[in-house]
Amino acid sequence: MKLYYSPGACSLSPHIALLEAGLPYDLVKVDLRAKKLENGDDYLKVNPKGQVPALALDNGELVTEGPVIVQMIADKASAKNLAPARDSAERYKLLEWLNFITGELHKNFSPLFNPTIPDEVKNFFKDRIMGKFKYADSQLAGRDYLMGKQFTVADGYLYTMLRWADGNKLDLSGLNNLMAYKDRVAARPKVQEALTKEGLLKAA
């Protein structure tokens, strides 16, 4: 498999999932502004959406959209318990979290990365994001991870959003459950490995 990624982008979520799953993969870096690969090839010929992540399967198929990719990864390594069993009540809860993160957090962050959007508009979206993080904080009371004691692919995605919060200087310091959770996820060896491979963390 090949994971098309850009350092620190939402592709960090499936990158963490691949490492946690222990699946073999190659990393292919994408320049999202130029829509080019490192070798100069046109990324739009790989993924016409022009976005990351994209996962090229060994059979030649391409899978896009982060929440779908991470579920596929989890299902390919079901023994790792990165997602509850398909058709279980817990699996639908995982889907609920993945949809919440992608629809309520990820999409509200998008305007903050657009230099043409005025600050007052960005502040509106920051307030919305804070409200969503407060909800996540309330749900993490007494839990190690979103689904309880078990780390799942939803955690890699939420952790990526928390890194974006840092990058946009959102003050989450009052959300104690979320801050403890962030530290817990960041301390995972495979998360550290993903950050190192993307050049976001210096190797020890």
3-state secondary structure of 148: strand
3-state secondary structure of 88: coil
Q: What are the pLDDT digits (tens) for 179-195?
A: 999 999 999 999 999 99
User: What is the Cβ-side half-sphere exposure of residue 39, based on CA atoms within 13 angstroms?
Assistant: 4
Beta bridge partners, 16, equal: none
pLDDT band at 203 (very low <50, low <70, confident <90, very high): low
Q: What are the pLDDT digits (tens) for 141-188?
A: 999 999 999 999 999 999 999 999 999 999 999 999 999 999 999 999
Distance of CA 57 to the CA centre of its chain: 19
pLDDT band at 22 (very low <50, low <70, confident <90, very high): very high
Distance between CA 7 and CA 3 in Å, rounded? 12
Closest CA to 12 of 202, 191, 204, 203: 191
User: What is the Cβ-side half-sphere exposure of residue 163, based on CA atoms within 13 angstroms?
Assistant: 20
Beta bridge partners, 26, equal: 2
Which pLDDT score is estimated for 201? 85
Tell me what percent of the residues of the chain surpass a pLDDT of 90. 98
